[in-house]
Structures are given as structure tokens and as C-alpha cells.
């Protein structure tokens, strides 16, 4: 049976930090539900009720659109090795635009001022509940490493071309909702 908590405890944080991948889910009141894989290396647990992750440029920007429209965000972590466990963080998220004062402060305090090629924004989650469940049906998988294609693509593209790409591909969700990426692009100029 699942257990619910109002905040992450140290064991939850340790479990999160041992994982290699997590999944984020978001939705607006209507339209498609988005579910995306993310690498845990981009995630930081700031305190028992706050998590951020550095979001890289991709072919879409669904999470940002959903956070503007609705704010609901769920992060899910699964044990693919060791004891079975699924941990979900439920709460309200928001986008921290690249080059904003808050973004720069988070980058300095939690990412050693290291911004990977293609960094687009930081997603900030205020956690209002944590749920754990057994995870006994999650298969074992062996971790063999990170993919570097996205980072290489972004590095070759360069900042100016990435800004253009974001304006072409990341301004609206697949349901036509605004993502707010224009603000971040204007801050970079």
C-alpha cells in the first residue's frame, strides 16, 4: 500500500539522489497530458518541500505551457535496481526564465554556475505531498550511461541559433498554449 507524506524526509531525498532518471507529468485543464523523462543529474532538492531541475532545450516546451496554464506538476522516480520503490512528488510548479535574477541565483547556488549547452529554463516545484508505493512490478534495468547527443547538438548550434530555435519550436505547446519562452529569449539579448 502507498504511503503519503506532507514533505520529503531524508530517506526520500537519498532515494531520489540514487536514481538516474525521473519522469515529469503536467497538464492544463484541457488538452493533452505531457509525460517526459529527465535525468536526475539536472535535479536539485532544495529543502523538504522544494525541488528544481535545469531544463534543456528540446523539440517542445509542454511543461512550461502547462505550468503557466495550470501549475500542477508531478515528478515520479522508480527504483530500477535494488529494493523496489516508486516515489512521486506532487505540487505546483513554475518556470524560472533563463537569465532572470532567480535563475542566475539558483545556477550559482545549486549548479556551481555551470550551465550546460542548451539550458532553457529552470523548473521549480513546490511539493505539497509525497507518495511512495511498492514498485514491485517495475522491472530491473541496468544503467550504462548518459546520452550526450542533446548537449553536442546545442553546443554546435550556439546561443544565437538556439534562441531562434526556441522562438520557432518552443513558444507554443502542441495544444497552442503559450510557454513564455519569449521572456527568456529577450533576457538573453
Task: Give the residue numbers spanning the domain of 175.
Answer: 3-187
Contact 58, 17 (CB under 8 A): no
pLDDT at 114 over 90: yes
Q: Residue 115: pLDDT band by 50, 70, 90 thresholds?
A: very high
> Dihedral of the CA atoms 50, 51, 56, 62 (nearest 10)?
-70
pLDDT value, residue 1: 65
Alpha carbon separation from 24 to 12, 35, 90, 135 (Å, rounded)? 17, 6, 10, 17
What would the pLDDT profile of 46-100 be if each residue is shown by its tens digit? 999 999 999 999 999 999 999 999 999 999 999 999 999 999 999 999 999 999 9
Q: How high does pLDDT run on average in the chain?
A: 96
| DSSP sequence for 14-34 | HHHHH-SEEEEEEE-SSSPEE
pLDDT value, residue 188: 76
Q: Which three cell numbers stand for residue 139?
A: 522491472
Q: What percent of the chain shows pLDDT beyond 70?
A: 99
Contact 25, 93 (CB under 8 A): no
**Domain count along the chain:** 1
User: Residue 130 sits in a domain of what CATH number?
Assistant: 2.30.110.10
pTM, two decimals, is 0.96
Amino acid at each position: 500500500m502507498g504511503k503519503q507524506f506532507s514533505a520529503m524526509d531524508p530517506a526520500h531525498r537519498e532515494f531520489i539522489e540514487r536514481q538516474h532518471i525521473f519522469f515529469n507529468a503536467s497538464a492544463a485543464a484541457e488538452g493533452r497530458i505531457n509525460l517526459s523523462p529527465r535525468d536526475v543529474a539536472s535535479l536539485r532538492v532544495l529543502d523538504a518541500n522544494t525541488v528544481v531541475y535545469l531544463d534543456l532545450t528540446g523539440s517542445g516546451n509542454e511543461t512550461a505551457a502547462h505550468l503557466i496554464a495550470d501549475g500542477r506538476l508531478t515528478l515520479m522516480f522508480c527504483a530500477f535496481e535494488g529494493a523496489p520503490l516508486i516515489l512521486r512528488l506532487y505540487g505546483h510548479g513554475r518556470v524560472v526564465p533563463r537569465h532572470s535574477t532567480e535563475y542566475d541565483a539558483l545556477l550559482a547556488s545549486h549548479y556551481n554556475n555551470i550551465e550546460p549547452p542548451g539550458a532553457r529554463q529552470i523548473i521549480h516545484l513546490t511539493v505539497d505531498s509525497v507518495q511512495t508505493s511498492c514498485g514491485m512490478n517495475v522491472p530491473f534495468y541496468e544503467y550504462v550511461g548518459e546520452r550526450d547527443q542533446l548537449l553536442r547538438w546545442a553546443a554546435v548550434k550556439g546561443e544565437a541559433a538556439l534562441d531562434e530555435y526556441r522562438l520557432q519550436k518552443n513558444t507554443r505547446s502542441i495544444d497552442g498554449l503559450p510557454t513564455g519562452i519569449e521572456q527568456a529569449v529577450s533576457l538573453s539579448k
